Amino acid sequence: MKKPKIGDILIFVLIFGISVGMLLSFQSNDEGAYAVAQIIKDGEVLHSINLDQIDEPVIITMKGKYNNVIVAEEGTIRFDQSDCPDHTCERMGRISRPGQTAVCVPAGVIIKITGSAEDDTDIVIG
């Protein structure tokens, strides 16, 4: 009987390991493992909140032409109250996933979620 070559076993282990690793990283992405909410006003990031590290609700008041009350809790963030004329921002609801944004146009305030996508490590196969 022909024994499998050690190289074949190594390749199999390598492929198997990569698939398991990819599976695990996809799963952690689904949980939104790493979501940072940026609160931007006039193009400037004024607050940066790691939504996964919130134990108690964080309330941020943005003052300006119109005032916004932004609440971050349980991995989500939202415009809770606003005295802008259209109140569209309040109706946008909670956002939690990287890539999502909520905007209060009259106040010029943007909440943007960024995530772990930038931190992904490339798999190097030697």
Residue ranges that bind Zn ion, judged by CB under 5 A = 82, 84, 89, 104
Question: Could you tell me the smallest distance in angstroms from the CB atom of residue 74 to Zn ion?
Answer: 22
- CA dist 17 and 39 (Å) reads 39
Question: Could you tell me the smallest distance in angstroms from the CB atom of residue 28 to Zn ion?
Answer: 33
C-beta closer to Zn ion: residue 5 or 65: 65
Question: Could you tell me the smallest distance in angstroms from the CB atom of residue 68 to Zn ion?
Answer: 7
C-beta closer to Zn ion: residue 34 or 79: 79
Q: What long-range pairs does 48-57 form, CB within 8 A, spacing at least 24?
A: 49/77, 51/75, 51/76, 51/77, 51/96, 51/113
C-beta closer to Zn ion: residue 68 or 76: 68
C-beta closer to Zn ion: residue 74 or 86: 86
CA distances in angstroms from 125 to 5, 10, 16, 19, listed in the order given: 19, 12, 13, 13
Decide: 123 and 18 in contact? Cβ < 8 Å: yes
Question: Could you tell me the smallest distance in angstroms from the CB atom of residue 107 to Zn ion?
Answer: 6
Cα diameter, the chain: 82
